[in-house]
Amino acid sequence: MADTRVTLSGLALDNPVIAASGTFGYGAEFARWYDLNVLGGISIKGTTAEERFGNPLPRVAECTGGMLNAVGLQNPGVKAVCERELPALAKVFRKPVLANISGFSVEEYVRCAEALDAQPNVGILEINVSCPNVRGGGMSFGTDPRAAAAVTRAVKKAAKKPVYVKLSPNVTDIAAIAKACEQAGADGISLINTVLAMRISLKTRRPVLANKTGGLSGPAVFPIAVRMVYEVYEAVKIPIIGMGGVSCAEDVIEMMLAGASAVQVGAANLRDPFACREIVKALPGTMEKYGIGSLRDVIGGAH
């Protein structure tokens, strides 16, 4: 019988499929369609210290093989997430969640981390230093090893739960940044976030997005994500959560062969709200097809 169980820093998951931050909200919308407990985990929408409306419209654009978004971390703020969103999610999802955190200063990251670390249904803090759609924060920390390490060190000091740092692909050497985070105490690495991209309208001859640029996600970025997971696996000894264009069970296994211990599914949820559920359902049959008894045995198997 196929064994889909995996572990992240002592946290046991029934399977490696985690709904990615940003495309799954706080779970409530998807809970109306299916039992969320079939998932390995959920990474909730990126949370900042204060409420954010996000970027001006339009902030989504389609393209071949994926989509661009410049949502800009729209969220109700950490107080509302702790008081409203997480308790509501606990009613429909019995497992620990990943709390995705963003900030515009080290102090903001710490403030959010302290609040979310105290929530009973948070199992892992996912520190987003990689958002390409917010000026003055997010990715500015993720493109510099020293800045990423400073955020990691401060959050680790403030939190008791495992800390995973979510990295940007928009860098020259992602392995160097991953190593800096590991040395600063990170318990794991999440990668990749979206790839900086742009569309221009032939009618208006102007950028399609009000923000001009946005983050590319979807199947087009999957080979980039696999390559970066592979590189980071060779550079660090801590677990990796891989993401970027994952849309089927085969993608999950390929990402794990590259070195991921678990995998997040993002843009696929926007195309098909049942995407995560269908990937979980397909995993045992796909494992049998490729002669895999336990998913834990394939982690890093391509190295």
Span 25-66, pLDDT tens digits:
999 899 999 999 999 999 999 999 999 999 999 999 999 999
The confidence score (pLDDT) of residue 140 equals 66
Instruction: Pick the catalytic residue from 112, 131, 181, 276.
Output: 131
Could you say which of 3.40.30.10, 3.20.20.70, 3.90.120.10, 3.30.300.30 is the CATH number of the domain covering 6-55+73-203+217-298? 3.20.20.70
Which bin fits 68, alpha (ψ -120 to 50), beta or left (φ > 0)?
Answer: beta
Mean per-residue pLDDT, 90-114: 95
- Please give the pLDDT value at position 130: 74
Across the chain, how many H-helices and E-strands are there?
A: 11, 14
- For 179-216, the pLDDT digits (tens) are 999 999 999 999 999 999 999 999 999 999 999 999 99
Residues 242-278: tens digit of each pLDDT:
999 999 999 999 999 999 999 999 999 999 999 999 9
Residue range 277-295, pLDDT digits in tens: 999 999 999 999 999 999 9
Task: Write the CA distances from 77 to 3, 47, 212, integer angstroms.
Answer: 38, 6, 25
pLDDT value, residue 50: 96
Structure-token match 């979310």, residue found = 116
- Look at residue 131 in the predicted model and tell me its pLDDT: 61
What contacts 11, CB < 8 A, 6 or more positions away? 96, 123, 124, 162
Domain range summary for the chain, segments of one domain joined by +? 6-55+73-203+217-298
Q: Which helix (H) or strand (E) element contains residue 122?
A: strand 122-128
Rounded mean pLDDT of 60-87? 96
Asked if 112 is an active-site residue, the reply is: no
Distance separating alpha carbons of residues 176 and 26, to the nearest angstrom: 32
User: What's this model's pTM, rounded to 2 decimal places?
Assistant: 0.96
Half-sphere exposure of 264 (CA within 13 A, CB side): 32
